[in-house]
Structure 1
């Protein structure tokens, strides 16, 4: 498996600052990142001059994205996230900023588009959505044998993905105020036309036909803009799960990665055993996703087994029960159980951000606390 995280580049005041490209130039000089110009050429189909680079640009200049190497266990995921968060922070510090694992900015900000041909095309095509969206997510890749197994996995994990949104919720503030949502990033992200839950595909042929139909509309610019909650990666032999906010603490991000891998493994086992994919309408999955973004772990969620609301703790227990055999076989059960217990006790990033604001009344202080929490470990 591997993890990608988008991070905010922030000033001491807490305001996101458009210094991502300058920070990446510093990282590129150390062999740790791609400059905006290199990334733009790669996005346009040219060969990657440094496929080992782990820090890359994102849509806005107030962002840096990191990617881990391929990991085989959660210890490796932990070490990789600590290392690459620290390298992203060092790159930002070299130009007078820091990075924070925040899925939205608590402080009001005017996003600045990253230069490049593809990003310019997105700005022209999507108007105010492309201009306003400054969000940071976490994407977890898990290897699959082939597209047949990958599509079988997508069809079986879709009903559980809203629970992961609730677990990782880390974006309560938007435009300088409390949004009322634990994950407002999940609401903003759905402004893109190709974002959100999907129905059951059934076969790889049906999946790829839908992707072709999407791009044929001319609305989605290319396959990279297929922003499904989970998809087959266009670059790697993986299922890519994309529903999570970037997670404030590394330890919580590792719990999320462990659960994603266990969900994929459980789905693959069910498929091989002939267990059919849950017949849940996409509309109901969308409602469950909205509920997860609104509530986080502090209220009710939609239980994917019954389609009815239930306390978030009960639904989290159901997820854990669903994947327990896969967690045990991977040697991850105790770690994930302990991590979930800690998240329930301490709260998600959304709860921690709100607590910081309640103490200080200062959104800048929320960001500064988030910077510190982003680098614990």
Structure 2
């Protein structure tokens, strides 16, 4: 076809070669029975079926077509034809990179001169080639264009491998890889990423050299991840595992055509070929084989690790024009997002193995999926007595989220406990070493004065929240954040809540005055754009709000990083229901921040993250959020105030319209810009004149002091006429004489908190305090009653946490992040914090840790 024709993507013809394992339906083992079926298959469709190197593997060839719809129909036709003949012989057909069980008789080689020669030359490589792939052929104008397509496509091919990964098992063992087929495949001397080549002549010279060297016996043994076909005018994608589902094949085929069209266009327009280090391409393929869609992937163009959701979206963005031109965008983008939500086939196979049926159950599932049938849902396991090793001595003191009062694992956690039991203490300890290495590689530190490179504490046992619970909790959190925003607006305006006696003046340490920074916001500005609300489950499993944080709440990036680390080091842990993607948080946060830009900023407001710098214990979060949002992270000295008062990035000169403030307001205002100018006056003037938005603005601490906490529920009804959806912990305002008397009498039963405290500092837990500590607390309380509140001691829920030996119950809370704006929402990045042994204090600065929080679909 002519080069001009190739630019019309919808006319480009493609075809698919699929490889399948034959398995005995009784033993579930791969068996070498392809030869006995070939004649009958040839009678049905002479060109559609072919033998492979192993006599237990058969190949199908679809009809060439420009239509993904027609391709799907033909793939279904061939699978049904093959499955029908197989079933007559008591066999099943499996589309997957590997099959978990292999009959000893399957070790032979198909009888043909070429395959026999390969057996003699390559020995073990041939004997262990018990793997299946999916190959996609796409028409190209000529072989020069095919080579160009290889070069332009190379950095994106590992993403396709991750989406297709379907070979976690080899000979009944979990390999630890989502695509063990890739490991086996890359042992061949001519396999792997495409070599950096200029044109077809350069490619042919390479092939000639390889044949002459004896490395390969014929040109058909070029096993690059993408290559020009040896016999057709096509480029052939070869990197992917075989797929159990037709949808998986259609997705890969659609992306392969778009990559081809993109490369042909670049070649036709004379664009230079991209240059990438072959070692990085190979490393990206290795990472994709290791991770599948359950761990981080290498963004080759950006030369960094990214979550799979971002890698897939980058690929879709790269190919959107080509997919739309072909009419494939809706189908391919929908299938890609479904694949992200569902996870890789490798993850589903591990789930099936761990939930029941072992390797035989995995084969049954793959046979059903390959035939296009839905395997009957497994019943959830009946709660069993706690496991004898990991939970042998598990004795929760109150309500535990995973284990009930009778010592039985709750149904939601049954699959997780089963997986943890399979790993055992030694397995988890090994994964903890990987965790530490991952955290160091990501600079995931939470520094303390005596430990500047302290890793952010992370327990590998995830916390599970059902979708139903999360929906109800989110509604209550949004309602509470709206109440706090209404209170801030009221206190900076009419102060109706004070006038009407809903909030006593004694609950406020100060009130805004006209000259205060918090009074300078233009009308209509959102004050509590981002809030971090701390909630706990009580002794009956009910959610209660513990604290409100409206100043500069931290934890979003740590929650995201926890997910990435756990996903990377424990890919075998996959929830049967699926887990909500936490990587959407930065995009939602960015949109909310930009929605607050001054009107004069136009369509492209400049956004930065303001930080104190590496000395801040949460600097990791500041840097990560800035990177995820694609904006600069700056210390105050990274700003420059121009002569006309415009705020800019000192290095680039880019105008700054919105700043996400992650630095104490006084430190920010006391700082100097890049030219040594004080920042207080120009920043405050820019905010007052609506030329600049500082978020969260100064002054939000007015309503997140703990003295305001007891009045938030009545304020909800006052402002909105609604009953509060979330309970809170019964709290005593010590500034009220009658309540002070009660607190002093019952101090040994209560939790005493400074109204302006944070990070767990200054808290006295009465039941755990010594007599001397109680006496000192009472004396300070009498001297400064308005500086404290007291709360009833709540029986906070516990959660299994790995101790290095077994699982033990530890108190947990949840910090959820609410973003107000046009569409108030709770970010899908809640941070579970874990208290140390025998403690109720979860703060990281006080020895607490964290968990990955899985919101189940």
TM-score when normalising by structure 1: 0.92
- The residue number in structure 1 matching 2:81 is 87
Counterparts in 2 of 1:273 and 1:199: CA distance versus 1, 3 Å: same
**Cα distance in 2 between the residues matched to 1:149 and 1:198:** 14
**Equivalent runs, 1:24-103 vs 2, <5 Å:** 24-28=38-42, 30-33=43-46, 53-103=47-97
Q: Does 1:319 align with 2:308?
A: no
Residue 219 of structure 1: how far off its partner (Å) = 2.4
- Structure with more helix by fraction: 1
**Equivalent runs, 1:137-156 vs 2, <5 Å:** 137-156=133-152
Q: Does 1:221 align with 2:214?
A: no
- The residue number in structure 1 matching 2:290 is 294
Secondary structure in 2 matching 1:56:
strand
- The residue number in structure 2 matching 1:47 is none
Residue 351 of structure 1: how far off its partner (Å) = 1.3
Q: Is the 8 A contact 1:88 1:99 kept in 2?
A: yes
Q: Does 1:6 align with 2:2?
A: no
RMSD: 1.2
Q: Is the 8 A contact 1:170 1:247 kept in 2?
A: yes
**Equivalent runs, 1:103-142 vs 2, <5 Å:** 103-110=97-104, 111-142=107-138
Secondary structure in 2 matching 1:7:
strand
Structure whose CA Rg is larger: 2
Residue 274 of structure 1: how far off its partner (Å) = 2.9
- The residue number in structure 2 matching 1:367 is 363
Secondary structure in 1 matching 2:85:
helix
- The residue number in structure 2 matching 1:261 is 257
Secondary structure in 1 matching 2:98:
coil
Residue 324 of structure 1: how far off its partner (Å) = 0.5
* CA displacement, residues 220-255 of structure 1 (integer Å, 9 cap, x when unaligned): 010111111111101110000100000111011101
- The residue number in structure 2 matching 1:209 is 205
Q: Is the 8 A contact 2:145 2:263 kept in 1?
A: no
**Cα distance in 1 between the residues matched to 2:239 and 2:321:** 23
- The residue number in structure 2 matching 1:21 is 35
Secondary structure in 2 matching 1:343:
helix
* CA displacement, residues 142-185 of structure 1 (integer Å, 9 cap, x when unaligned): 00001121111111111111111101000010111111100110
**Cα distance in 2 between the residues matched to 1:94 and 1:133:** 27
Q: Is the 8 A contact 2:291 2:297 kept in 1?
A: yes
Counterparts in 2 of 1:108 and 1:10: CA distance versus 1, 3 Å: closer
- The residue number in structure 2 matching 1:339 is 335
Secondary structure in 2 matching 1:255:
helix
**Cα distance in 2 between the residues matched to 1:185 and 1:308:** 25
**Cα distance in 2 between the residues matched to 1:315 and 1:117:** 43
**Cα distance in 2 between the residues matched to 1:275 and 1:344:** 32
Q: Which moved more, 1:182-191 or 1:19-28?
A: 19-28
Residue 26 of structure 1: how far off its partner (Å) = 2.1
Q: Is the 8 A contact 2:31 2:102 kept in 1?
A: no
**Cα distance in 2 between the residues matched to 1:87 and 1:130:** 28
* CA displacement, residues 328-369 of structure 1 (integer Å, 9 cap, x when unaligned): 011100001111111111112111111111111420111111
Residue 108 of structure 1: how far off its partner (Å) = 4.0
Secondary structure in 1 matching 2:281:
helix
Residue 138 of structure 1: how far off its partner (Å) = 0.4
* CA displacement, residues 163-220 of structure 1 (integer Å, 9 cap, x when unaligned): 1110100001011111110011011111111111122211211011001111111220
Q: Does 1:172 align with 2:168?
A: yes
TM-score when normalising by structure 2: 0.41
- Tell me how many residue pairs correspond in the alignment: 357
Residue 327 of structure 1: how far off its partner (Å) = 0.4
- The residue number in structure 2 matching 1:36 is none
- Structure with more strand by fraction: 2
- The residue number in structure 2 matching 1:355 is 351
- The residue number in structure 2 matching 1:45 is none
Which of 236, 248, 255 is equivalent to 1:252?
Answer: 248
**Cα distance in 2 between the residues matched to 1:100 and 1:7:** 5
> Displaced runs of 4+ in structure 1, greater than 6 A?
none
Secondary structure in 1 matching 2:266:
helix
